[in-house]
Structure 1
Amino acid sequence: MPSFSDIVAARDLITPRLRQTPVLRLDHCRGADLSNPVHLKLECLQVSGSFKIRGATHRAMTLPEGAAPGGLVAASGGNHGLATAYVARDAGLPATIFLPETASPIKAEKLRRLGAEVVQTGRFWDEAHAAATTHAERIGAFYVHPFADPVIVAGQGTVALEMAEQIPDADTYIVAIGGGGLIAGMSTVLRELKPNARIIGVEPVGSPTLHSSLDAGHVVRLPEVTTRVATMACGRTHEDIYATVRDLVDDVVLIEDDAMQTAAELLWFEFGLAADLSAAASLAALMTGAVTLPPEAVVAGLVCGAGTDGMGA
């Protein structure tokens, strides 16, 4: 996994191609009993609609010459695929994105508008991943892994560098987990800059990938994945991600899909933020009491990806 200096170098490289997304303090927020100051960095306003563009941009900018004669291939719940398709289009490369059948139809359509070929297969990410890697090998494409790649993780970690500057008094960080690349990169930065910070990961009850691995003391493959949140549905993490989370993250908590739905609806109703369910995970963990806070804690989280999940409320 990347070092702190690797992540700083990644930021220097990719910043010109990204937006510095704003931070929202959740003041005057009806429907959520938030007694602590809570700040959310709005990566839903990032290029491609999520933080995933950070890792994808870093990966695209550091590809060796001739590494992708067949273009780029990715397996994704939606956001990583959009980021990969975006950077492929900018590089003039074809992109093929494998999505599980549970992925958002709107995100599939956005992928097609970016010029990507979309293949939907499997019930969750791991099955799409297996099909994608086979396809990439067959056509000579470069497979852009969403988390088992130190270059990708370094890109994702750059969001924590910005958060540390934008929310200097934050001491508690709540981070959604799919495969774990985001929290691995962020925790590497935060342990360097804020060694006493509390770092908490959030997973769905129906996809407790890292939670189960930490309980077991080693990486496990979940016997089933039942969450409907495609961007957080991962049956097995990578050993290096597991080791980083084990060593640097304080806790991983579990929340129900419906809690993320409620939080996404609140973000839309109160703030006009079109967030997908994973983007509402930080807020959902607070609203449900899955994360409890001392009175003096100052919280930082992410609205990590755009989506229409909360807009039907």
Structure 2
Amino acid sequence: MLSLSLGDFKNAAERLAPYIRKTPLLDLEIAKGQTVSCKLENLQVSGSFKVRGALNTVLTLSEEQLKRGLVTASGGNHGMGVAYAGALTNTPTTIYLPENTPASKVAKLKKLTPDVIVSGPVWDDANALALKDRDANGKTYIHPFADETVIQGQGTIALEVLEAAPHLDTLLVAIGGGGLISGVAYAAKLINPNIRIIGIEATGAPTLHDSLKAGELVTLDAINTRAGTLAPRRSETPNFEIISKNVDQIVLVEDDMMEDAAKWLWESAGIAVELSAAAAIAALQHNLIPSDTGNTGVIICGAGTDGIPK
């Protein structure tokens, strides 16, 4: 397993500080007598937490690595983070996206880099093309969740959350490939070994849930969720190992639960999110989280319009 110290996460936070937002922590009443602290990463510079890991990685690259150009595959949010980092460092950037990426995200990405390729049904297919591009053209590949510096960057969220709310007993974190929960869980447990970390996945993409159940990484046969940013068919060994050690439980939510939660966030607080960002709220609203979690924090991981009436 990756061996990281609290100092690694603090160094990442210092590296990122000039370029990203220290997003607010907002207390929301989910139900009568039940308030949760929501970390609003939907307000981050790129629209999601992903810029933390992507930019932390790019800022640690050598001049020679940058000269080769950047390439990655993304469901949209990581691509925005890498494109933002490429623009910041004047580095040519190529983004591969799966066909289930919302058109609005494709359009936003093309404003940052003209080299955006949409191909393949799911992220894993787009990623294969990104790796092929890396091998053929020598570009520097930025993995969206299995890179050590990406994980360090995502973990800076835990530092901010627990600085603002040291009383929290539980953190709820949505899971796609596992980069966010790997970083958050690792850093949070270094700060408070007793904090409970609960992951939330889409029922139609239970990548880590099924891997933990099997005791090894599994590759899903198919993806069946509209939450594209929660939908790789397979995670990677570093994430699996960190999650196995530091995550206490993973629960599954249906797409319609996330959609209802996204609508609730918009109607009750004017928070515009994508489905994945509403996953933790959905789990709370449907009583899928144990009742003894105490003071609870939630990471609202990305902006979107899924909760806004069409």
TM-score, reference length from structure 2:
0.96
- Point out where structure 1 has 5 or more consecutive residues left out of the alignment: none
Equivalent position amino acid for 2:11 in 1: A
- Partner-residue secondary structure (3-state), 2:197: strand
- Counterpart mapping for 1:59-78 below 5 A: 59-78=57-76
Residues 173 and 200, structure 1, Cα contact 8 Å, conserved in 2: yes
Counterpart residue number, 2:296: 299
What is the CA RMSD across the aligned residues, in angstroms?
A: 1.3
Measured after TM superposition, the shift of residue 92 of structure 1 is 0.9
**Structure 2 partner of 1:154:** 152
- 147-156 or 135-144, which deviates more: 135-144
CA–CA distance in structure 1, aligned partners of residues 116 and 65 of structure 2? 22
What displacement does 1:205 show? 0.5
Instruction: Go from structure 1 to structure 2 and tell me whether the alpha carbon gap of 1:115 and 1:98 turns closer, same or farther (over 3 Å shift).
Output: same
Aligned to 2:198: 200
Structure 2: distance between partners of 1:113 and 1:82: 10
CA distance in 1, matches of 2:54, 2:32: 34
Stretches of 4+ aligned residues off by more than 2 angstroms: 1-5, 32-37
Q: 1:232, CA displacement in angstroms?
A: 0.5
Q: 1:222 to 1:3 in 2, by over 3 A?
A: farther
Aligned mates of 1:13, 1:77 — CA distance in 2: 25
CA drift of 1:115 comes to 2.3
Deviation at 1:68, TM superposition (A): 3.4
CA shift, 1:289, in A, is: 1.5
In the other structure, the counterpart of 2:306 is: 309
TM-fit CA distance, 1:109 = 0.3
1:24 maps to 26
| CA deviation string 1:30-80 (max 9, x = no partner) | xx5353320101001111111111111111110022113341111111100
Partner AA of 2:141 in structure 1: Y
Pairs aligned (count): 308
The answer to whether the 8 Å contact 1:170/1:299 transfers is: yes
What percentage of residue pairs aligned between the two structures are identical?
A: 44
Whole-angstrom distance in 1 between the partners of 2:132 and 2:66: 15
Does the alignment pair 1:168 with 2:166?
Answer: yes
Counterpart position of 1:238: 236
Change (3 A) 1:130 1:7: same
Write the letter of the residue equivalent to 2:27. Answer: R
Q: Please give the alpha-carbon distance, in whole angstroms, between the structure 1 residues aligned to 2:101 and 2:286.
A: 25
Q: Is the 8 A contact 1:85 1:116 kept in 2?
A: no
Q: Deviations over 1:106-162 (max 9, x none)?
A: 011000111242111111111111111111222221111001100110000000000
Q: Which amino acid aligns with 1:4?
A: L
Query: Which residue does 2:262 correspond to in 1?
Result: 264
SS in 2 for 1:119: strand
Bigger CA drift: 135-144 or 227-236?
A: 135-144
The one-letter amino acid paired with 2:248 is D
TM-score normalised by L of structure 1: 0.95
- Unaligned regions of 5+ residues in structure 2, if any? none
Q: Within 1, Cα distance between the matches of 2:153 and 2:14?
A: 10
